[in-house]
Chains A and B, each alone.
Chain A
Amino acid sequence: DSGVTQTPKHLITATGQRVTLRCSPRSGDLSVYWYQQSLDQGLQFLIQYYNGEERAKGNILERFSAQQFPDLHSELNLSSLELGDSALYFCASSVEVAVTYNEQFFGPGTRLTVL
């Protein structure tokens, strides 16, 4: 158990809908990262927050957004869902960002299926 929790575990929805994925980082970790994993693209970095502020953006679509709250939990919002958004979504956390080794600890993921 990494100490990172994600809910829900599974999510099935229809095209055009909006969903929210939730992540709670390890105790003491200030940085949260969101990743999307699909069979053909592998693990793709979406976005990073540190202590409530956005720190870095990766391959995140404009239909997707995220935020980190004062209690450090984070939510990833996916809207106008398309079939191609079906994937595993992982949250990871780390203590800080400005370290060479930047070790990240991953949650169990949310499997999103868009029908």
Chain B
Amino acid sequence: TQLLEQSPQFLSIQEGENLTVYCNSSSVFSSLQWYRQEPGEGPVLLVTVVTGGEVKKLKRLTFQFGDARKDSSLHITAAQPGDTGLYLCAGASRSSGGSNYKLTFGKGTLLTVNP
């Protein structure tokens, strides 16, 4: 069974601070996605990283995929209250049987940015 461990589980910071959250596994994934989920809503896809060592930037958010494609990190610069939410990572891998890919989700990091 593939597992994705996210840390920290909870993070509360002040507006303007920087932060990094982590997503780790002992398994190799074909790609890794980051989602943000706000209370009462569905997860919203932020980014997909595919290549080992890949770095993608989305405004103040920087995503990195580990060289071995087993882990990833999300760094937020100068956090704002609008960044508050549950950040989920999800690894894509082939299902048993061949042509299908499945997503395995971590339990998420709940980020609160206080004004």
Binding site for B on A (CB under 8 A): 2, 4, 33, 35, 41-45, 48, 50, 55-56, 58, 90, 92, 97-109, 111
Contact = CB atoms under 8 A, between A and B. Distances in A.
Contact of B42 (A58, A97, A101, A109): A109
A74 B40 CA distance: 21
B92 A43 contact: no
A108 B106 contact: no
B25 to A, nearest CB: 14
Given A43-B105, A48-B100, A55-B100, A101 B41 contact: no
A98 B101 contact: yes
Contacts of A103: 33, 45, 48
A109 B41 CA distance: 7
Interface of B: 30-31, 33, 35, 40-45, 48, 50, 88, 92, 95, 99-108
A100 B92 contact: yes
A42 B101 contact: no
B92 A106 contact: no
Contacts of B30: 100-101
Given A100-B30, A100-B101, A90 B42 contact: yes
A2 B42 contact: yes
B45 A105 contact: yes
Nearest to B88: A43
Contacts of B102: 45, 48, 56, 58, 102
Given A55-B100, A103-B33, A42 B41 contact: no
A102 B95 contact: no
Most buried by A among B40, B48, B100, B106: B100
A42 B108 contact: yes
A41 B105 CA distance: 10
A102 B31 CA distance: 8
Given A43-B43, A106-B44, A107-B42, A101 B92 contact: yes
Contacts of A48: 100, 102
